[in-house]
A and B are shown apart, each in its own frame.
Chain A
């Protein structure tokens, strides 16, 4: 192609392009702004949420201060609010559920992360875990109420424990099953990330697989495993439906694992619908408290995971 026509072509392209380009550039700029706007919207949403929670907690805070967290009388009709029993209930159910679930989730994590990383057994087990995580909590609740509770009554009879069928123990048991998939999948992922040369070095020293797993792989992945546990703890703290259906919903302080109790989330679910005034404010306050704790564990867990994956 001769130079003049190439020249014209380029100029032509430039001229007509200049008009069309303004059009295009407008869309381009608008699109970039739109993306950013969505992120800002999201941030404002959370901000608004926090502000709402704080503002509506104020009446309760000004009236009771923090002493209401230690009070044990809960009597909305007479404006008596002591939330201690719910705090205890929340902590008991969640910590207990962690204790129940860890042996299982760790076993699954090691099983799938080291012994059976592929194959039919592995995909079946993985799918099973995914399904367990996907089952709505109300389904856990209904099965817990009709099936688990009678079962637990019989089971505990064997140990000579009188169990009413509802209570902290049922809630903890149910929660444990619900949180296994979460800690298991995170733990499994970090275990799979252990570098092969580390394992091979240990094997070449004559270690058995058991020793490699417990003395090399687990310590190496400890922070990731810990993060997974934190995340599942946060999940257990905030769980509402399954817990409220089996925990007994009693507002009396109870230290016995086999007695009735209630958690913060469950109490809010039961009472907020009709609450107003001071009652509402109290519920918002303990909700805010619950949220802070749950978010704390969630963010901390994810931060640890991020740090450890960057390290690798």
Chain B
């Protein structure tokens, strides 16, 4: 996937300025920066979720497999991308099984029951949740712990076989143990999807990602392999952020 020359305005404020950013297959990309730098805005543009905020304007291109995502129907874009949110949000009225296959069922996509079962098992295995819930598939999702709920949300997103999985601070609401297990999962997942992760936790970006982008005040300041960016940052501001001079 590639972001080209992306500008975003919320009303009068320009939230993103001319962002250019490539994402690579089967790699984990972290976007970090202080609050208000535009990282969440960028992430939400990737699956057209920015349109849910009234008064948002966008210019530029987001290319995926030769198509500009900004020109397609949002529903199509979202069915081909997956998103995981800060607070785990399984659908409270549905069972675990129904949650995982929600993307198919609720979209009215016609699929045989056997196929649904297969997709559910595969997604739950990928999300490292299968063994814990395989005999409780028909219980409500809200009975799981925070970490398990988040993995359920990951399974739900993975079930749609997305090209990209977007994660918006997925562990900031979780305890350290769950955080560690999600980070482990992210590393495993890169064999199946391209991952883009927004985080305010610098250490997490360093632990988990192959490429890191540093953003500040709506601009992409620096982007490179994680090793390089963390050890020899090119830009002074990157270095200051990494050393905690501003947060």
Contacts and interface: CB of A to CB of B under 8 A. Distances in A.
A and B touch in the complex (CB under 8 A): yes
Interface in A170-207: none
A14 B75 contact: no
Contacts of A11: 65
Given A1-B192, A10-B163, A21 B75 contact: yes
Interface residues of B, number: 15
A14 B72 contact: yes
B67 A14 contact: yes
Given A1-B192, A11-B65, A6 B76 contact: no
A9 B161 CA distance: 10
B64 interface: yes
Contact of B163 (A6, A17, A18, A24): A6
Contact of B75 (A6, A9, A24): A24
Interface string A20-57: 01001100000000000000000000000000000000
A215 to B, nearest CB: 42
Nearest to A11: B65
A7 interface: yes
A25 B73 contact: yes
Nearest to A3: B25
B79 interface: yes
A83 to B, nearest CB: 50
Contacts of A1: 192
A61 B163 CA distance: 72
A160 interface: no
B25 A14 contact: no
B22 to A, nearest CB: 15
A311 interface: no
Contacts of A18: 73, 76
Q: Which of B25, B75, B108 has the most CB of A within 10 A?
A: B75
Interface of B: 25, 64-67, 72-73, 75-76, 79-80, 108, 161, 163, 192
13 contacts: A1-B192, A7-B65, A7-B66, A10-B80, A10-B163, A11-B65, A13-B76, A13-B80, A14-B76, A17-B73, A17-B76, A24-B75, A24-B108
